Chains A and B, each alone.
Chain A
């Protein structure tokens, strides 16, 4: 067992060194494609943060003062529910202090100054309203415009601005373009790794011929080559992950130096998400390497 392992790693390392230029090209392509994918995921996450308060078809938010009593909240709820033809009552959602604070953490991730000002004592709670599919925007605006004056403790009523529509469209475009570029580059990485392995196998065709004649199994012959591709994908993914984490750190520190109301606060990605992205980049890098090398190692065994 140990001699097999030592053989496998020795041959893999020798082959990596022998094909240095091709190996470097494969690693760089894998790294660039995975880096772009990582950035794409972070950018989309930023868009999602920005759009999160309007997700699920919410088109109207009624902000209520933090100290509203249950009775006052019930008055607001009753007013909203009294228009079932315009408002989808089943989807009416109330975000209490905790839920509103959690949402603020996402929205103001890159704006610590604003975030610091929001506490459990002062953050407004909110009713999120989804209109009926056939309700007109004008009618909804008309009904909601009087809420601030006639309902208790209502601070303000927010409608989605055109910016939200712009952001949603932009998100779609960014997603399409970046995913397309990523897909093309990942495919190139697979092809390059495939080609590297094919060249490595061709360079060692005499050894492979001898190995087959003395009774080495196909798997024994294949494994060092497959491992070589796997390592190329893995190294590419490690470089890409380093790049993504650095870019995210640089972006976060840049946004934090912006004025508090710059509007970019939500585009900062915090928490475990960057680590989650890195994890999937590593998995995908290894997968790209394994697919490229695995197919080549199977196809070109009869050298």
Chain B
């Protein structure tokens, strides 16, 4: 589903965010990217949805080399990738329903599809009774669930999650991980950057560890260390 070949990315001559990174992620796999802040986890995620381009190497997503992809095609690539963030990135002036519907509306989905898919995905994330609430009326965990619903409502092939439990207490974080695990079991590939040791150790999924831009470990059913 995702393949990186000798990818190098630097933001300046002094700072190399990623150096010669290579790995494959299979369809429906769940992968943790771990490492301290600045180790290159977020850069890896940004390379996968073409928010960044590498200096060297190739990034393949769903069978396509996305480095060579014309800019006009990038939006179509992103419709197959859901994004989840530590700060949720919800729109404060929109309700829960509108926030999730927004993701379908801006890619031109018809109203009847939106009316059908949004309640279904809100039900999946456990927010079916809170459609009309605004983000500030929700807890952090609930806001992250809205963010997951928005990322998943278009049934993407891949979910990229950047520290999704970073702002949550341990119990709420576990709930979010159970939800991501359920989504993963529907066949969606999940790549999650985190430095939440407890969660990585609890899930026992594949772990790719980075240190100053270099992959130092790639372990199936790994732990944080």
Contacts and interface: CB of A to CB of B under 8 A. Distances in A.
Contact of A220 (B78, B102, B108, B154): B108
A4 B110 CA distance: 8
Interface stretch (A49-57, A167-175, A202-210): A202-210
Interface in B91-124: 91, 102-103, 105-111, 114
Interface string B34-55: 0000000000000001000000
A7 B105 contact: yes
B214 to A, nearest CB: 27
A206 B107 contact: no
Interface in A150-172: none
B67 interface: no
Interface band, chain A: 10 to 19
A206 B91 contact: yes
Given A3-B110, A7-B106, A211-B106, A217 B72 contact: yes
Interface string A1-16: 1111001000000000
Contacts of B78: 212-215
B64 interface: no
Contacts of B105: 3, 7
A214 B79 contact: yes
Contacts of B79: 214-215
Interface string B69-88: 00110011111000100000
Contacts of B102: 207, 210-211, 214
Interface residues of B, number: 23
Contacts, number: 59
Nearest to B105: A7
A214 B154 contact: yes
B107 A215 contact: yes
Contact of B150 (A209, A214, A221): A214
A143 B41 CA distance: 97
A216 B89 contact: no
Interface in B112-167: 114, 150, 154
A58 to B, nearest CB: 60
A215 B76 contact: yes
B88 to A, nearest CB: 10
B75 A207 contact: no
Q: Output the residue of A209, A213, A217 with the most chain B CB within 10 A.
A: A213
Q: Output the residue of B107, B114, B150 with the most chain A CB within 10 A.
A: B107
A214 B103 contact: yes
Nearest to A214: B103
Nearest to A221: B106
A216 B103 CA distance: 8
A76 to B, nearest CB: 73
B27 to A, nearest CB: 20
Interface string A200-244: 000000110111111111101100000000000000000000000
Nearest to B99: A210
Given A215-B78, A217-B72, A217-B75, A210 B107 contact: no
Given A210-B102, A212-B78, A214-B103, A4 B108 contact: yes
A1 B78 CA distance: 21
B118 to A, nearest CB: 13
Contacts of B89: 206, 209-210, 213
Interface in A18-59: none
Q: Output the residue of B71, B75, B109 with the most chain A CB within 10 A.
A: B75
A207 B49 contact: no
Contacts of B75: 212, 215-218
B203 to A, nearest CB: 25
A57 B105 CA distance: 65
Nearest to A220: B106
B83 A213 contact: yes
B186 to A, nearest CB: 19
Contacts of A2: 110-111
Contacts of A215: 75-79, 106-107, 154
B109 A214 contact: no
A214 B156 CA distance: 10
Report, nearest first, the 6 A-B pairs whose CB atoms are least far apart. A215-B79, A216-B106, A215-B78, A214-B103, A215-B75, A217-B75
19 contacts: A2-B110, A3-B105, A3-B109, A3-B111, A206-B91, A207-B102, A210-B150, A211-B102, A212-B78, A213-B89, A214-B103, A214-B150, A215-B77, A215-B107, A215-B154, A216-B75, A216-B106, A217-B72, A218-B75
Interface of A: 1-4, 7, 206-207, 209-218, 220-221
Given A207-B102, A213-B89, 7 more contacts: A210-B89, A210-B91, A210-B103, A211-B106, A214-B79, A214-B106, A217-B75
Interface of B: 49, 71-72, 75-79, 83, 89, 91, 102-103, 105-111, 114, 150, 154
